[in-house]
């Protein structure tokens, strides 16, 4: 009881301040500077490339070669080679015509269903179309009518967007499925379940989804997602044979675990998760997994508490998008297309209801985190989990209505009243 009373006293002492022109000016300046920095880096990166190879010896699009070559082998009826690290690496070297850095396939067999058309086109064209089409899906999933112009432009020029584009990764696609699925829970529950189920190609990003659905008693999308996962897995068995799963479990899953537990270099720098932070700090495995378990438990409890209530769906989803990087030990900066949307929605809410102390700075740090994490991790200061944890807490307070009404700016009461009067279909 003492802990609860102290928590209530702390929350009761919180107050917001109205948004000012300085807040908007700061947001525009920060956004412009980060966009200019990322744009300049892209120009620098491509100007030093020699044909398909960049100045570091990797193909332009770096990780995209994994999806493209997997598609080429699958279309040639050689899907089994994808799950053999030696043969898959040889396929990369044949394509570039010489030695090439290791880029293994680390996905379950049903992920091949998502990438199979890529090999129908030449590498660069396929990479360009993959980036543009998945970005369009991401923007469509995250878009809101009243943020159609500024919000869309902000997401296009967000640091996470540049990171995902340069990495040739699937952060746009995974974010599109998760965000669209969560936003359609009330309006199109069946479609929401299908989209959330399709996220199973990257299951570490969907850990909190079933917890949220159970907490909200949204059984139709819950079972829809479950059936979709079973259907996709069954289809992969039909398409690629049971041997693909045997190879995955006996080789790929083990290699993935070894890379995750013993990986180094850029692999470590790109991860903002609690477990990776303990590795950077030199803590042992026991302490590392203990810290990760604590963060994961807090994320699970926070999501369950938030989705138990009938609240603003956008805020609930924002809490989940940030919580993903606290609950999973396996997340990269190119997956932080998720947190870009959470920051955008959080900023929109704060402009309407007033900013909590330090909230503007916190939103700015999370927005920049996809590039900031690489520098802080390299310097032995893994601040990612702390920054994400604080934003998770702020969004949790807002989504659960824990901010006392007397602490709200005048504009907040009007905005909150309007939100509560809206039908549930308009909350997504």
Query: How would DSSP label each residue in 280-308?
Result: HTT--HHHHHHHHHHHHHHHHHHHHHHHT
pLDDT value, residue 262? 66
Contacts of 271 (CB under 8 A, 6+ apart): 330, 331, 332, 333, 373, 377, 384
pLDDT value, residue 268? 84
Q: Are 232 and 193 in contact (CB under 8 A)?
A: no
Q: Which of 294, 287, 349, 295 is nearest to 323 (CA)?
A: 295
Local mean pLDDT, 10-residue blocks, the chain (428 residues)? 52 71 88 92 85 86 94 91 88 90 89 93 95 96 70 92 95 97 94 97 95 96 97 93 83 66 76 93 90 96 93 91 95 96 93 89 96 94 96 94 58 41 38
The residue whose two tokens read 């500077």 is 33
pLDDT value, residue 49? 82
What per-residue string of b and e applies to 382-412 under the rule 16 or more CB within 10 Å gives b? bbbbebbbbbbbbbbbbbbeebeeeebbeeb
Radius of gyration of the chain (CA): 22
pLDDT value, residue 255? 67
Please provide residue 242's backbone torsions phi and psi, each rounded to the nearest 5 degrees. Answer: -65, -25
Crossing angle of the two packed helices 171-183 and 313-327, in degrees rounded to 10: 140
pLDDT value, residue 254? 67
pLDDT value, residue 428? 35
pLDDT value, residue 74? 92
Residue 224 tokens read as: 């829809």
Distance CA 305, CA 314 (A): 15
Please provide residue 40's backbone torsions phi and psi, each rounded to the nearest 5 degrees. Answer: -65, -40
Q: Are 344 and 151 in contact (CB under 8 A)?
A: yes
pLDDT value, residue 6? 53
pLDDT value, residue 372? 95
Q: In this structure, what DSSP letter does residue 148 have? A: T
* pTM for the structure as a whole: 0.89
């Amino acid at each position: 009881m003492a802990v609860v009373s102290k928590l209530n006293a702390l929350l009761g002492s919180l107050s917001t301040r109205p948004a000012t022109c300085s807040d908007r000016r700061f947001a525009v300046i920060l956004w412009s500077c980060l966009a200019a920095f990322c744009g300049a880096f892209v120009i620098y990166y491509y100007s030093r490339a020699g044909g398909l190879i960049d100045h570091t010896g990797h193909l332009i699009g770096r990780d995209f070669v994994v999806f493209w070559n997997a598609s080429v082998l699958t279309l040639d009826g050689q899907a089994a080679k994808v799950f053999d690290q030696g043969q898959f690496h040889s396929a990369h070297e044949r394509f570039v015509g010489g030695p090439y850095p290791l880029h293994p396939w680390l996905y379950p067999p049903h992920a091949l269903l998502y990438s199979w058309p890529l090999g129908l086109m030449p590498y660069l064209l396929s990479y360009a179309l993959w980036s543009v089409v998945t970005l369009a899906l991401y923007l469509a999933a995250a878009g809101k009518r009243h943020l159609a112009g500024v919000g869309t432009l902000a997401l296009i020029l967000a640091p996470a967007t540049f990171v995902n584009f340069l990495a040739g990764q699937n952060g746009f696609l995974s974010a599109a499925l998760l965000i669209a699925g969560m936003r359609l829970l009330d309006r199109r529950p069946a479609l929401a379940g299908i989209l959330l189920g399709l996220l199973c190609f990257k299951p570490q990003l969907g850990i909190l989804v079933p917890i949220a659905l159970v907490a909200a008693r949204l059984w139709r999308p819950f079972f829809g997602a479950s059936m979709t996962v079973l259907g996709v897995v069954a289809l992969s068995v039909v398409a690629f044979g049971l041997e693909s799963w045997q190879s995955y479990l006996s080789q790929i899953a083990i290699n993935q675990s070894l890379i995750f537990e013993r990986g180094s270099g850029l692999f470590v720098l790109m991860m903002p998760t609690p477990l990776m932070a303990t590795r950077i700090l030199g803590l042992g495995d026991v302490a590392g997994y203990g810290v990760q378990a604590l963060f994961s438990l807090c994320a699970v409890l926070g999501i369950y508490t938030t989705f138990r209530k009938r609240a603003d769906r956008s805020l609930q989803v924002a809490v989940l998008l940030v919580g993903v990087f606290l609950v999973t030990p396996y997340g990269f900066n190119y997956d932080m297309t998720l947190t870009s949307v959470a920051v955008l929605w959080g900023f929109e809410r704060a402009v309407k209801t007033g900013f909590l102390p330090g909230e503007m700075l916190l939103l700015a740090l999370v927005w920049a985190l996809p590039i900031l994490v690489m520098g802080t991790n390299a310097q032995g200061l893994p601040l990612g989990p702390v920054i994400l944890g604080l934003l998770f807490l702020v969004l949790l307070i807002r989504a659960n209505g824990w901010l006392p009404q007397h602490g709200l700016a005048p504009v907040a009461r009007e905005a909150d009243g309007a939100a509560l009067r809206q039908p549930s279909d308009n909350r997504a």
